[in-house]
Structure 1
Amino acid sequence: MRKPSDAGARAGWRAWFARHALDLSPLQSPGFRLLYTARLVSVLVYGVLGVAVAWQVWSLTQSSFKVAGVGLGLALGTVAGLLWGGVIADRANRRTVMVAGRAAYVLVVLVLLLNSLQPTPQLGWIYAATVLSGLAGGISAPALMATLPTLVPGHQLPAAGALGALAEQLGRLTGPLLAGLLIAHGGSSACYALALAGAVLTPLLLLRLPALPPPQAAAATARVGPWQAWRESARFARGNPVVGGLLVLDVLMALCATPWVLLPQLGVQAFAGDAQLVGMLHAAPAAGAFLAAAGSGWTRRLDRPGLLLIAAAVGWGLALLCVGLASQPWLALALLVLAGAFDTVADIVRGALLQRHTPDALRGRISALWLLEMHLAPALGGLALGGAAQRASAGLALVGGGALCALASLLVGARNRALRATGWQR
């Protein structure tokens, strides 16, 4: 006979799980299921290609500097694509924009595959494909982000953001592992062949989305030039304290505390580790992000998500500050897991609030503005922290950057009452 206390404990665990487990309700929408499946395929393709391209460039040149050129080409192409993609997403059929961008990506992967099959693959073709990859992604990404609120109800946006974060972390974890296996048995060409299959599948999935006509205000937007359209979105961001605060916090987190460039120096100099430890340091934030996304069900019941966003930004800075002070590698790994969790919680809340507080006619450009920050701010922050680490140490650079991030985020939160008080509804 079961004891009443046992039944009560099981009921308590079920209630706890229901409150914290990943909310799958957005998957009830057929349109969102198609979009999410396409995103899962895309992030897996990105994860495989990232390793395959880096490995091929290294194999051809034995130069880390030339490997870094891949990231530079991708960033330049993405920025150029976002400048156009944000405007196009507010003027054209968003399904058409997404399908066109993903179809162009098929050509990018095809170029990489054909080049890899040559007796002597050409570095120039790899760089050209990298730039075009960023361009195609930059054009289609704002339309994808702006489409989300039309496929799920507003109260499900946090859950949709959590599912998106989960897909991204799965791609980061499984894509490189799969690429390593493929390279070991078939070289970079095997990676490109698999990526080509995924790249072909993505636009086919997006074609099955419901019609996504331009926003009702698109006709008025179309009468102005692209730069005027961007100025309109910038005025909106400055004038809306919630949207402006979201973007400012994102910039602060990236500019002041971007740890990735410091992890090799930290692992080798601070902890006397090797490449295996450095790899673990890189993987730790992804593990924390995955756990945070998987247990994000509680975010949908928040009355003041803006306050949580401020707390997450402060927590990100403090966690990295403590990484800089850590004396043992296991402690640094645990703190990086915690930092990854803070970062993902911030992304989930930020993305949902940004979509809820931005009019449909501006969602493409505001989404592109956020994506521009996500590409440029970490690059600039990495340069600043890398320079500080070269003059002092990686640990001191993390301490200074983390402290600045936490203090600046607190200041933004203290001065922005609208952001502190905002909820999921407008």
Structure 2
Amino acid sequence: MLEILRGRAPALRSRNFRLLWAGQAISVAGGQMQSVALNWHLYELTGSPVALGAIGLVRVVPIVVFSLLGGAVADAHDRRRVLLLTQTVMASIAATLGLLTQLGRITPAHIYALTALSAATIAFNNPARQAFTPSLVPREHFANALSLAQITHQIANILGPMAAGALLAHSQLAACYWANAASFGGVILALLLIRPPQITSPPAPPSTISWSAVLEGLAFVRSNPILVWTILLDFLATFFSSASALLPIFAKDVLHAGPRGYGILSAAPAAGSLLAGAFLALTPTIRRQGVLILWAVTAYGAATVIFGASTIFWLSWLALAATGAADTVSTILRGTIRQLVTPEHLRGRMTAASMIFFMGGPQLGELEAGLVAAWIGAPWSVITGGVGCLLAVAWVAARAPQLRRYHGE
């Protein structure tokens, strides 16, 4: 059975990739438990859509401030050691949330402060992780590695929210945070067991942590039209269509589904993403990747409109699942393009520059969604956001012939 799986999923032939793949699956499940619990916790404490949207603001500021530095660190230092440090810090943050909640001392200010600290750590973690992965598998297996990572992440994204919903239904908020703190052990153990990867690409000039190194990464991104348009499309789509922060409002006040229903709704995008990731993992090399990205983002915006307009639980769930499926197709193709058009010695800085937009978009989108929800209500906030996404993808399609013609060569 294992040999059949390795034949269909060649990235699994790499021991180092298998270790990181398994460790991240455990960690993602814990992270999703915390994410779901955090939004529910904040809504319980404040009852305010603006307070929910503000989570996006406290996340995006550290990402913008530290991401470029994080990319330079990822290119100048041993990425495995960087990841060991960042994973340990994030485990400590989760444990602090658990302790404060257990003691009954937590406030919205604590949640915002610890969320900001976690976002700053992610600004160093993500460039190192994304730049580290291509060195674990041969170049021709990298797209398969991304698809496999998406599959396992989405399984974890299904199990994590559902587990959190069950715990929330029994008033066990602290347990969600403790579970996340423990889950980081999976990645830390994997990193300790990974053997130093063998880089097969030509040797690159050594990188240093300096302003000139940061500018070199930015100059490379700006000089590559495919990178520019995929990053811009990602930012615009997620800015307008970020509905996840408002899920507690939909579960509690629109669909009247309670904490268990909230957990099920939170798992819906991952269910759709799992199906899309499995399809892509078992699909031969995809041509006309640029056109497929545009259609995937169009489907994402349309599904967002349907979710915002729905008052039926099963239809809302299906719409969220469709957003997850569409987003996964776009994410895998965009991630493959970005990593493969970027030289090894620039991958950390390219990822950091991209991260400002692909993480900044949804975080600023959460703030926008919260403010609009306070003005015209959560359903109309989501509907107008979906329409904005559709308009954005139409504009990019019209202005970016390089993306429309991109075939993946």
Q: TM-score range by the shorter chain?
A: 0.7 to 0.9
TM-score (norm 2): 0.81
Q: Name the residue aligned to 2:157.
A: 172
Amino acid at match of 2:290: G
Q: Name the residue aligned to 1:371.
A: 355
Q: Name the residue aligned to 2:328.
A: 344
Between the two structures, name the one with larger relative contact order (CA 8 Å, sep ≥ 6). Answer: 2
Q: Residue 302 of structure 1: CA displacement?
A: 1.0
SS at match of 1:296: helix
The 5 A counterparts of 1:120-131 are 121=105, 123=107, 128-131=113-116
Of residues 273, 290, 294 in structure 1, which corresponds to 2:274?
Answer: 290
The 3 A distance-change label for structure 1 pair 97 and 340 is: same
CA contact (8 A) 1:97 1:143 kept: yes
Amino acid at match of 1:376: G
CA-based RMSD:
3.6
Q: Name the residue aligned to 1:413.
A: 397
Q: Name the residue aligned to 1:35.
A: 20
Amino acid at match of 2:136: L
* Alignment of 1:199 onto 2:184: yes
CA contact (8 A) 2:247 2:262 kept: yes
Amino acid at match of 2:71: G
Q: Residue 347 of structure 1: CA displacement?
A: 0.7
SS at match of 2:69: helix
SS at match of 2:195: coil
Q: Name the residue aligned to 1:209.
A: 194
Separation in structure 2 between the aligned mates of residue 62 and residue 324 of structure 1, nearest angstrom: 22
The 5 A counterparts of 1:84-233 are 84-115=69-100, 118=103, 121=105, 123=107, 128-181=113-166, 187-211=172-196, 216-217=203-204, 219=206, 221-222=207-208, 225-226=210-211, 228-233=212-217
Q: Residue 102 of structure 1: CA displacement?
A: 1.4
Q: Residue 191 of structure 1: CA displacement?
A: 4.1
Task: Give the percent of matched residue pairs that are identical in Structure 1 and Structure 2.
Answer: 31
Q: Which moved more, 1:340-349 or 1:272-281?
A: 272-281
Separation in structure 1 between the aligned mates of residue 204 and residue 233 of structure 2, nearest angstrom: 29
CA deviation digits over 1:10-68, x for unaligned, max 9?
A: xxxxxxxx9xxx95321111111111122112212212333455566677x56657777
Separation in structure 2 between the aligned mates of residue 268 and residue 195 of structure 1, nearest angstrom: 24
The 5 A counterparts of 1:233-244 are 233-244=217-228
The 5 A counterparts of 1:34-113 are 34-53=19-38, 61=45, 72-113=57-98
The 3 A distance-change label for structure 1 pair 300 and 415 is: farther
Unaligned runs of 5+ in 1: 1-17
The 3 A distance-change label for structure 1 pair 244 and 274 is: same
Q: Name the residue aligned to 2:257.
A: 275
Of residues 283, 300, 304 in structure 2, which corresponds to 1:316?
Answer: 300
The 3 A distance-change label for structure 1 pair 411 and 42 is: same
Q: Name the residue aligned to 2:288.
A: 304
Amino acid at match of 1:82: S
Separation in structure 2 between the aligned mates of residue 337 and residue 199 of structure 1, nearest angstrom: 27
Q: Residue 266 of structure 1: CA displacement?
A: 6.5
Amino acid at match of 2:332: I
Q: Name the residue aligned to 1:4.
A: none
Q: Which has the larger radius of gyration?
A: 1
The 3 A distance-change label for structure 1 pair 397 and 23 is: farther
SS at match of 2:194: coil
CA contact (8 A) 1:115 1:122 kept: yes
Separation in structure 2 between the aligned mates of residue 66 and residue 402 of structure 1, nearest angstrom: 22
Amino acid at match of 2:33: V
Q: Residue 240 of structure 1: CA displacement?
A: 0.6
CA contact (8 A) 2:165 2:264 kept: no
CA contact (8 A) 1:105 1:133 kept: yes
The 5 A counterparts of 1:17-32 are 24-32=9-17
CA deviation digits over 1:244-299, x for unaligned, max 9?
A: 12111101211232233565666788xx6313466655443332222212222355
TM-score (norm 1): 0.78
Separation in structure 1 between the aligned mates of residue 385 and residue 204 of structure 2, nearest angstrom: 42
The 3 A distance-change label for structure 1 pair 241 and 279 is: same
Separation in structure 2 between the aligned mates of residue 209 and residue 161 of structure 1, nearest angstrom: 18
CA contact (8 A) 1:312 1:343 kept: yes
The 3 A distance-change label for structure 1 pair 161 and 197 is: same
Separation in structure 1 between the aligned mates of residue 316 and residue 381 of structure 2, nearest angstrom: 15
SS at match of 2:76: coil
Separation in structure 2 between the aligned mates of residue 311 and residue 318 of structure 1, nearest angstrom: 11
Amino acid at match of 2:341: H
CA deviation digits over 1:94-142, x for unaligned, max 9?
A: 1111112112234334434554565x53546655543333232221211
Separation in structure 1 between the aligned mates of residue 136 and residue 81 of structure 2, nearest angstrom: 16
Unaligned runs of 5+ in 2: none
